[in-house]
Amino acid sequence: MTETNFRTDLDADGILSVVWDMPGRSMNVLSADAIAELAEIARRVAGDAAIKGVVVSSGKKAFSGGADLTMLEGIARLYATEKATRGEEAAAKAVFEESRKLSQLYRFIETSGKPWVAAIDGVCLGGAFELALACHYRIVSNDPSTRVGLPEVKVGLFPGAGGTTRVARMLPPQDALQMLMKGEQIRPDKARAMRLVDEVLPKDQMIGRAKDWIREGGKAVKPWDEKGFKLPGGPVWSKPGFMTFPPANAIYRRETQDNYPAIRAMLQVVFDGLQLPMDLALTVESRHFAKVLRSPEAAAMIRTLFVSMQELNKGARRPKGAGELPLKKVGIVGAGFMGAGVGYVTARAGLEVVLVDRDQDAADKGKEHAQKLISTEVAKGRVSGSERDALLGRITATPDYAALADCDLVIEAVFEDPKVKAEVVAKVEAVLREDAIFASNTSTLPITGLAKASKRPERFVGIHFFSPVDKMLLVELIVGERTGDEALALALDYVRAIKKTPIVVKDSRGFFANRCVIAYMLEGHLMLTEGVPAAMIENVARQAGMPVGPLSLNDEVALDLGLKIIDSTRAQLGDAAVNPAQEKLLRTLVEKEGRLGRKNRKGFYDYPEQGKKSLWPGLADLQETKLDPETLDVAELRNRLLVAQALEAARTVEEGVITDVREADVGAILGFGFAPYTGGPLSWIDAMGAERFVRLASALAEIHGERFRSNALLLDLAAKGETFYGRFGGASEPASAAA
């Protein structure tokens, strides 16, 4: 056989080593070619009496990230092709047969009569971990980077190569469902405790131990294929079963609002499968998987949260003309909550950090924040004490600007005041190397205006972090009028180094994410002033797919900040740019009631020191009109919240703030949680069709005002029957700062 993706070697004891090492890739993936080659190896093993067992390992740093989701996209598209030529029934059958090939291969391995052992080092996720689950023994390394898991739910799918069915037979159903619904990456010791793996060993001992297990007579039959097998949690139709599945369904609906068909299908697969023999249970799993695979939710989530996100993370927007740029040391001016967080993620990426503030105490407090964050990771077993010490050793806290002299990049994270930022620019540029890049972390101030304080605006770029920095995955890079390609390129390289996802936006008021977020919060404020009950606003937002309601979100970002934005908007754009109802609400809350949000434990919600937050009862007293919730159209409220954000996203494309539609969708989900099941606001518009969306927005405009009027771009897409991705493409040329 031709060995391309796997290398095989048969030793004197008849043990076949299968090393997965795909050429030209940094990580192994389950592509169509790799699956076909593995199937050929499996047939060879089953048919060759000289082969007594198999050890599967990786020739790369990680075992595998799982299936190539672009391959799954192709299977999903097969439905449309087959339906057009052979009809709906034939199309559904074609997708079913194609999508179950990997499941059938793993079942063949499992029942081949030869013991297979998976030796796992690094990440082993998705379809790769399903391969490991089909093996008869699993050994993982104790390396800190090693993780196993089934994260398919995060891209609108569920484990469909036997993973759902096997996990449900290995764990009690409540544990299995929790693992499958969360999609978390699991550390070696926890995986061993859960009995998902059999041993945890140093990397250099794994292969030897795997071979010993085979030599010692390792069993090539899974428990569920033996007579008398009993489910870990007992039968479905039992007292424990009744204590598991009804609550699981309730939890699913509470957490997802039934917006995720993959999770609903996964619950059904587990419930039905545990009542069936293994092979029939796998067939049920495959049928549900084929149906979910061709769902619009899966298509949208795969494209945005895997394909587009991966492309952006790999530098799709890096200017072509910019070569390799040095990035070893980063300076951060401002050691407050934001700056300290930036320092922490930078040091964690292995970069040297100079953390500057007005005096030594202030700078030290910033470093203490990093120490607190990394110590929490140590306590959870995610990093070692020596790694913590090394990280802290990379952070130099000082009030001395001269320490920035040899930095490749300096990021200011001081107060949102142009005068304060201008003073920092002057102090930094007095000591900074000529070839270094200066970045301003700002969420509200235009970069072009800030760059006027710089002597070299072509090396000045905006970097907008989201709070808290250590948890939020998105970073907006803002290109000013004179920002050069090298400044953008280094900023992109930096964001990639700290393992976050960048989107590149042109300079404008509010950039991209904040414009959409402000539209979302405005709609929540206006609903409240109209008399909609506050609890209904928040619950409808969750039903729409948002992670938190607009009132809760406003509390997080601070009500007084919202009032400052209103004041600055009036100063720059005039009275017509300010909604009087919103202004009255916020002025009452901030100036009369002293309610600033979570930061002072009083906002739209009350935040007791002990216990959960709850909506402030006084909100009802602020409503001049009180509407009966029974008379309100929930669908209309839900549409208002989503359409307001989607319209703003469409405007940013028309205005050239967003120049790559992938970034609007990725940025919306990662930045402010726009209903992930939709794939993002532009994908949501595309899925329903621009014409239908324009009709929906127009109907809302007739009732609620001109803010719901569609822009010229949307009207043109609707008139021509086009989509955002169809017109602008999912992939565009790499960004040029000068474009």
Q: Which helix (H) or strand (E) holds 328?
A: none
> Which pair of tokens denotes residue 82?
């087959």
- CA gap 376, 338 in Å, rounded: 18
Angstrom CA distances, 21 to 3, 24, 30, 89, 433, stand at: 10, 9, 11, 39, 43
Burial classification of residue 335, based on how many CB atoms lie within 10 Å of its CB (0-12 exposed, 13-18 middle, 19 or more buried): buried
- Specify the 3-state DSSP secondary structure of 694: helix
The residue type of 129 is F
- Specify the 3-state DSSP secondary structure of 683: helix
Residues 72-107 as b or e (16 or more Cβ within 10 Å = b): bbebbebbeebbeeeeeeebbebbbebbbbbbbbbb
Q: Are 177 and 153 in contact (CB under 8 A)?
A: no
DSSP string, 473-514: -EEEEEE-TT--HHHHHHHHHHHHHTT-EEEEEES-TTTTHH
Residue 669: which residues within 8 A CB-CB, separation 6 or more?
304, 305, 676, 679, 680
> Which pair of tokens denotes residue 176?
């299995």
Q: Are 406 and 327 in contact (CB under 8 A)?
A: no
Angstrom CA distances, 460 to 312, 319, 404, 411, 543, stand at: 22, 15, 16, 10, 42
Question: Starting from the edge strand earliest in sequence, which strands make up the sheet with 15-20, in order?
Answer: 6-10, 15-20, 53-58, 116-120, 137-141, 199-201
Residue the block writes with tokens 């995610």: 382
- CA gap 50, 43 in Å, rounded: 13
Residue the block writes with tokens 């070893």: 328
Task: Decide the pairing of beta strands 395-398 and 409-412.
Answer: unpaired
> Which pair of tokens denotes residue 427?
């102090």
Residue 358: which residues within 8 A CB-CB, separation 6 or more?
399
- CA gap 113, 117 in Å, rounded: 13
| Residues labelled catalytic | 464
- How many C-beta neighbours within 10 Å does residue 575 have? 9
Residue 311: which residues within 8 A CB-CB, separation 6 or more?
662, 731
- Rounded to 10 degrees, what is the CA torsion of 384, 386, 389, 394? -100
DSSP string, 446-470: -HHHHHTT-S-GGGEEEEEE-SSTT
